C-alpha cells in the first residue's frame, strides 16, 4: 500500500502516554506493516534493524510498542486496525480488477459475434476432445479413442480464489484446514464476491476490531458457518484506538437549533 488513512485525534489519544521515541517507533512500525501488507516479523532484533532502532533505548521502545499495540501470532506481530485497512484496500483492488476483466471479456465477446456473422459457424468438439467425423457403416467398428482428460481449470481457479480470500482474511491461522473448507464450498466468482463483501463488512464491525482482533473467528470456522451471510451491525467508530474521536459527529449536529428563521431565509437569534 502506498497510502493509508491516519486519524490524528485517535492516534494522539492512544499514544499520549508514550515517549517521543516510542511514538516515532510506533509510526515506523505501522508504515512497515502497510508497506509489506502483512504482520511484522516475529524476530524483534530484525524489526529493530528495519526501523533503525540501534541503541538500547530505541530497542526497548520497539519492544514496548509491540507488546502494547500488536498481538503476536504464528505469522508474526499482528495489528487489527492495519489488517482492517489492508482488507478494505484489497477488496477495492479485486473489484477494480474484476470490473476490468468483465469489460475486456465483453469486448472480446462482441468481436467474436461480429466475426461470426460474416463466416459459417463451425461446430467445435466438446472440451477439445477428438470426435468421429464420419458416420459408422454396418461393418465398421468404432476406433478406440482416448478419453478426455479432466480439465484442470476448475481446481486452479479454486486455488486462486482461496489465495485471494487468504490475503483478505485478517486472522491467518490453520491455512491448510481453511483451504479444505474453502474447497468444499466450490466457490465461483459470484460467490467469492459475496464472501468478500461480507468479510469487508465484518472486518469493520466492533466485534472484530475490539481488543486488537481478539474475537475474530478462525477462518475455517468462518467458512464452515457461511458467516459472510451474517447480519452485521455497522460500527459507530471503526478506529482501533481507545475512546471516541473528537473529530466525528459533525454531520449529525443540528446547527440551526435555537435560531429564528428570517424572511430572507437566513437565521438569527
> Would you give per-residue pLDDT tens digits along the chain (269 residues)?
888 888 888 899 999 999 999 999 999 999 999 999 999 999 999 999 999 999 999 999 999 999 999 999 888 999 988 988 888 888 878 777 877 887 888 888 888 888 777 665 555 555 555 555 555 555 555 555 554 444 445 566 778 889 989 988 988 888 999 999 999 999 998 899 889 888 888 887 878 887 777 788 999 999 999 998 988 876 554 444 444 444 445 455 555 555 566 666 565 55
Both 98 and 14 in a single domain?
Answer: no
Instruction: Give the pLDDT score at 241.
Output: 42
C-alpha grid cell, residue 141: 467398428
Both 31 and 62 in a single domain?
Answer: yes
Both 192 and 233 in a single domain?
Answer: yes
Three-state DSSP state, 73: strand
C-alpha grid cell, residue 177: 484446514
Residues 145, 190 contacting (CB under 8 angstroms): no
Whether residue 133 lies inside any domain: the answer is: no
Instruction: Give the pLDDT score at 244.
Output: 41
Whether residue 145 lies inside any domain: the answer is: no
Burial 245-263 (b: 16+ CB within 10 A, else e): beeeeeeeeeeeeeeeeee
How far apart are the C-alpha atoms of 1 and 36, rounded to whole Å?
8
Instruction: Give the pLDDT score at 25.
Output: 96
Both 89 and 207 in a single domain?
Answer: yes
Both 211 and 84 in a single domain?
Answer: yes
Whether residue 116 lies inside any domain: the answer is: no
Q: Domain count of the chain?
A: 2
Whether residue 180 lies inside any domain: the answer is: yes
Whether residue 67 lies inside any domain: the answer is: yes
Whether residue 74 lies inside any domain: the answer is: yes
Both 167 and 224 in a single domain?
Answer: yes
* Owning domain of residue 201: 79-102+156-241
Both 86 and 182 in a single domain?
Answer: yes
pTM of the model: 0.45
Both 191 and 68 in a single domain?
Answer: no
Amino acid at each position: 500500500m502506498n497510502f493509508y488513512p491516519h486519524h490524528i485525534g485517535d492516534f494522539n489519544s492512544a499514544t499520549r502516554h508514550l515517549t517521543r521515541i516510542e511514538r516515532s517507533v510506533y509510526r515506523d512500525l505501522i508504515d512497515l506493516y502497510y508497506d509489506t501488507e502483512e504482520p511484522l516479523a516475529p524476530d524483534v532484533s530484525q524489526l529493530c534493524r528495519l526501523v533503525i532502532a540501534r541503541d538500547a533505548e530505541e530497542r526497548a521502545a520497539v519492544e514496548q510498542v509491540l507488546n502494547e499495540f500488536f498481538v503476536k501470532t504464528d505469522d508474526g506481530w499482528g495489528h487489527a486496525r492495519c489488517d482492517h485497512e489492508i482488507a478494505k484496500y484489497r477488496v477495492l483492488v479485486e473489484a477494480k480488477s474484476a470490473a476490468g476483466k468483465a469489460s475486456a471479456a465483453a469486448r472480446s465477446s462482441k468481436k467474436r459475434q461480429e466475426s461470426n456473422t460474416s463466416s459459417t459457424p463451425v461446430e467445435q468438439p466438446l472440451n477439445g476432445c477428438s470426435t468421429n467425423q464420419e458416420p459408422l457403416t454396418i461393418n465398421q467398428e468404432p476406433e478406440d479413442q482416448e478419453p478426455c482428460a479432466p480439465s484442470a481449470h476448475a481446481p486452479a481457479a479454486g486455488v486462486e480464489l482461496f489465495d485471494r480470500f487468504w490475503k483478505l482474511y485478517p486472522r491467518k491461522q490453520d491455512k491448510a484446514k481453511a483451504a479444505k473448507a474453502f474447497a468444499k464450498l466450490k466457490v465461483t466468482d459470484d460467490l467469492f464476491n459475496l464472501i468478500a463483501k461480507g468479510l469487508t463488512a465484518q472486518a469493520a464491525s466492533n466485534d472484530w476490531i475490539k481488543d486488537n482482533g481478539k474475537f475474530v473467528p478462525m477462518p475455517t470456522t468462518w467458512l464452515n458457518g457461511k458467516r459472510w451471510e451474517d447480519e452485521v451491525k455497522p460500527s459507530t467508530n471503526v478506529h482501533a484506538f481507545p475512546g471516541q474521536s473528537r473529530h466525528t459527529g459533525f454531520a449529525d449536529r443540528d446547527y440551526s437549533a435555537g435560531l429564528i428563521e428570517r424572511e430572507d431565509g437566513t437565521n438569527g437569534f
